[in-house]
Each structure stands twice: as structure tokens, then as C-alpha cells.
Structure 1
Amino acid sequence: MWTADAKDVAAEAANDLRYRTGADSYDAVVVLGSGWTGAVESLGQQDIELEIADLPGFVRPGATGHASTVRSMWVGAKRVAVFTGRTHLYEGYGAMQVAHAVRTGIAAGADTALLTGSAGSLRNDFAVGQPVVVRDHMNLTGTSPLAGPDFVDLTNAYTPWLRHTAHETDPSLTEGVYAALPGPQFQTPAELSMLRMAGADLVGHSIALETIAAKEMGADVLAVAMVSNDAMSGIFGSANYDRALSVVQQRAWHLGALLHGILFRA
């Protein structure tokens, strides 16, 4: 599938989303990552909720910690489309499918994309349970949501003014570089050491492909990754997905309030 074809499918889904929710347009799109589903309760005022599989081009997320709905919400005067889960490469889907939600939200009018996820920390000064603003990413998935002759500039993939707004909302926030890998396996000790030496601060299985698609469509992007585990502990012991997921779920309400504050100011 070419980029233009993926955008055509997203436009069809966006038209259906607007029709079913009665919205003329959307101001922002939010994609909630692993364990973030509960954040929707404090993110804004709910209007209408739909099953995403009922919209063109969507499949039901299959990963643990992801819901299967899209909520039309209000954050102040802003209309926001909130996808309560996402699909991943490791579920057997391609990059175009992974980016379909963010493309749909932008096709529905959103000029701002807020992407979230959980991530392992590669730094000693990033604590488990700490949200981190993504400053940049390393796309190590071996794929792209773009296919065609046009190039896309990712120099400022994560919009500086949105990052500034995030820091105004919560001055305690720090920033980091996110390494995106396909999963579902966790990284080996050698891989973790390589990523840290290459300059990665966080490691996860999402965000990067959606960011690329959003930038190609001209949207501003902010990404927030919740530190769910100390990835470097994998060098000395085994990783535990359920424990990492629980860390994010326990803080979901506060994460939703953070997103609310950012969107309200943006």
C-alpha cells in the first residue's frame, strides 16, 4: 500500500467518525498506549464512544492493556478524538495499519497529535512510574508508514512548542530519546547496552511510526512515554510485562490529567 492509499482509507474512516459522532471537525487526536486506557476518565468530558472496529480500516487491538474504542471528547473548547488502544507490529500488522488511528484523527481535522506509550528506562535517573516527554526517536522497527517518492523532514518530529507546553503544565517533566523496536520480545542484554551507547534513553514498541505518519500529514506531535520498568535490569534479571503494565495502570488517572492540562493549554 502506498502512502496515498493509506490516507484515502483514513479519510473514509474520518468521514465515518465525524458522521457517527456528529462532529464537524476535531482539534486533536490522542492515542493511548499500553496501560493508559484509564487515562481517558480524567482526560476530558466524554461525548460519544464507538468501537473502532466499526470504522473503515480498523481492527480490534489485541495486546493486553489496550481497549478497542474511540471516544469523542471535549477538553475545554477543543474536540478531541481519543483512541483507547492501538495495534502493533508484533500483532502481525503492517506499518500502515499501525498508523491508521493517527491518520484518521488528522484526516478528521486534528492538527495536533498526542501519542502515549509505556517504555523501559535505559537511564539511572529515570524512575519507574515517571512520565517522560519524547524529544526524539530512533525508528529501529525496520519499516515505515510511508511508501512513495516523497521525502518527509523529521528534524523537529516532536514539536518544540508542544514540548514547551508540556513543561509548563508539569515543570517536573524531563525529556528523552525513544528507541522503537518491533517486539514482542524484550531486548537482550547486548541489545540494551548497544541502545544505551547509541544515545537512547527509553525503549518501547510504538510511537515512532505514528509520529512519522502524523508529520507527513502536517500535524504537530507530542509524545509522552511512561517509564514502566528499568530496562537495564534485564541485564541482571528477567523482564516482567505484567508488572510493567501494572505500573502504568496505577497511574493512569494522573496521566489523563496531565494530557488534559497539555491539551487545554495547546
Structure 2
Amino acid sequence: MTTDPFELAAEAAAFLAQQTGVPAHDVALVLGSGWGEAAGLIGETTHTIPAADIPGFSAPAVEGHVGTIGSVLTPDGKRVLVLGARTHYYEGKGVRAVVHGVRTAAAAGCKTLVLTNGCGGLNPAWAPGTPVLISDHINLTAASPLEGATFVDLTDLYSERLRAVAREVDPSLDEGVYAQFTGPHYETPAEVQYAKRIGADLVGMSTALESIAARHAGMEVFGISLVTNLAAGISDTPLSHAEVIEAGHAAGPRISRLLAGIVAKL
């Protein structure tokens, strides 16, 4: 297997095209915690492939994440590549593995990337189950998917145009800045206050590195978070992954309809 990340992405895209009979996809959708039901509402899932069968991919390490890559045909004829197998930075597989799905999507022809996640909220008004548009991010991983002298402008990384499209579907959507920590431990109350002081509204363990890779690949990025819990110190309740899963299940039908409505307008 090749060690060049872009050659590996091209190899994975060619494998997907061969397995699905679909020469190119239009939109890529990364499903985070709580968002798994959305794929079924977007259109007809014509192909589902175990992620571990695809070059460069592996089975997910987190409960609540789907272990497959799917091809969905929307009612208006678009092809959506659904990336249910997400590699997180805390898994220790390296940044290349974290962004391999995004680079594969770009190699498969996708011009738009939809990133979803479950996260902690810093705004007490955002109860668990609240979807929030991502307007920008703060990368606190001390890592980048870009290697060498690769300089990429991240102005308007999270497309203002696509956020406007989302508000056509649901005008009540709030937006905020997402801070990616490394994980896998949850943030301390002091770290949450630090994130708040530097401008974050949401905290989690994904998304930022993927969006940088997407911008480098020339894709337009849309990000949306599901607040699954109030971040440490914002609420008196201790954090747990079970709470994240529970909030995702409870909000699943609503946010899935919302996401399907947004994807239909892309």
C-alpha cells in the first residue's frame, strides 16, 4: 500500500468507484455522534461498504459511530458519499489517518463537505440536543494535516453561503466557534473557561483537522454540531460518554430531518 496520503486517497476513491459503479460523488457527509440516522433520510442508500475493506480506512473505535462508507442517491440525482467511519486524533493513528476520509471524498469528486459532530456547549441556553452551526474553529491539537511549506488561507473556512442555506431550512439555528481538543479525556472546567476566553462556544475532539484538509483539497465546508452536553463546569453534572450517546439518540430524528433538508439544498 502506498505511503503517500494523496495517492492512498486516490486508491480508496478508485476502489469506491469500482465497488459502487458510481464514477463520482458530489457531496461528502461525515457523521459524528448523534447524526447516524441522517443518511437514511437524504435519499436511497444504494451501496454500503465496510470501512475496513477500503484502502486506508479502519473500523471506528467509538461507540455511536457507524463503521461503513455509503453511497446515497438523492431525489434530485446528486450522489452523497456518507463517511460513517471517522478516525479521531486521540486514536494515535496520526493526522493522515484522521483526514483520509476527507481526502478520499475529494478524490472521489466531492465539491462540498458536510462535517457533523457531537460536542460540549459553553452557552447555557443550548440544552442537550441543540444543533449549532459552526462559524469558525480554534485548533487546539497543535497539529495540522498539511505537511511542509503548504500554506492555505482559512478565511471563511466554514462557508457563510452554506450557513445561509441551512437557515433557509431552520431560521432558528444559532452559530458558534468550535474548539478541537485532542481528547480522549473530556476538558477540565479550567480548560473550558480558557476556550471560552479565547472565543470558543463549542468544544469537542474532531472536525477542525478535517476541515483544514478539505479547504486544502478545494472543497466548500459546512459544519454543524449537536450539543450533547454542557461542557465541564458549565453544568454541575459530571460528563460521560453514555450521556453523549443518550442525547444523540434523543435528538436523532429532529437533527436528521434538519440535515436531510440542508443537504437537499446544497
What secondary structure does 1:249 align onto?
A: helix
Alpha-carbon distance between aligned partners in 1 of 2:249 and 2:6, rounded to the nearest angstrom: 32
In the comparison of the two structures, how many residue pairs are matched? 263
Q: Over the residues paired in the alignment, what is the CA RMSD in angstroms?
A: 1.4
Asked whether 1:210 is paired with 2:210, we answer yes
Alpha-carbon distance between aligned partners in 1 of 2:116 and 2:232, rounded to the nearest angstrom: 21
Deviations 1:217-248, CA, capped at 9 Å, x for gaps: 00000011000001144674421220122111
The offset of 1:68, in angstroms, is 0.7
Deviations 1:171-190, CA, capped at 9 Å, x for gaps: 11110000001101011111
Gaps of 5+ in 2: none
The offset of 1:35, in angstroms, is 2.8
Alpha-carbon distance between aligned partners in 1 of 2:109 and 2:37, rounded to the nearest angstrom: 25
The offset of 1:208, in angstroms, is 0.4
The offset of 1:253, in angstroms, is 2.8
Asked whether 1:10 is paired with 2:22, we answer no
Q: Which structure 1 residue ranges, 4+ long, deviate > 6 Å from structure 2?
A: none
- Matching residue's letter, 1:27: D
1:160 aligned partner: 160
1:73·1:81 contact (CA, 8 Å) conserved in 2? yes
Which TM-score applies when normalising by structure 1?
0.95
Asked whether 1:126 is paired with 2:122, we answer no
Quickly say closer, same or farther: Cα 1:91–1:222, change in 2 above 3 A: same
Worse-superposed segment, 46-55 or 226-235: 226-235
1:66·1:84 contact (CA, 8 Å) conserved in 2? yes
2:169·2:258 contact (CA, 8 Å) conserved in 1? yes
1:112·1:219 contact (CA, 8 Å) conserved in 2? yes
Deviations 1:135-155, CA, capped at 9 Å, x for gaps: 000000111111121200001
1:104 aligned partner: 104
- Matching residue's letter, 1:257: R
- Matching residue's letter, 2:156: N
1:42·1:253 contact (CA, 8 Å) conserved in 2? no
Deviations 1:191-215, CA, capped at 9 Å, x for gaps: 1111111110000000101100000
Alpha-carbon distance between aligned partners in 1 of 2:255 and 2:39, rounded to the nearest angstrom: 9
Alpha-carbon distance between aligned partners in 1 of 2:81 and 2:242, rounded to the nearest angstrom: 28
- Matching residue's letter, 1:225: S
Alpha-carbon distance between aligned partners in 1 of 2:42 and 2:85, rounded to the nearest angstrom: 15
1:52 aligned partner: 51
2:27·2:114 contact (CA, 8 Å) conserved in 1? yes
Alpha-carbon distance between aligned partners in 1 of 2:197 and 2:53, rounded to the nearest angstrom: 44
1:83 aligned partner: 83
Which TM-score applies when normalising by structure 2?
0.95
Asked whether 1:30 is paired with 2:23, we answer no
The offset of 1:41, in angstroms, is 2.0
Alpha-carbon distance between aligned partners in 2 of 1:16 and 1:105, rounded to the nearest angstrom: 12
Q: Identical aligned pairs, as a percentage?
A: 43
What secondary structure does 1:192 align onto?
A: helix
Alpha-carbon distance between aligned partners in 1 of 2:14 and 2:254, rounded to the nearest angstrom: 32
What secondary structure does 1:81 align onto?
A: strand
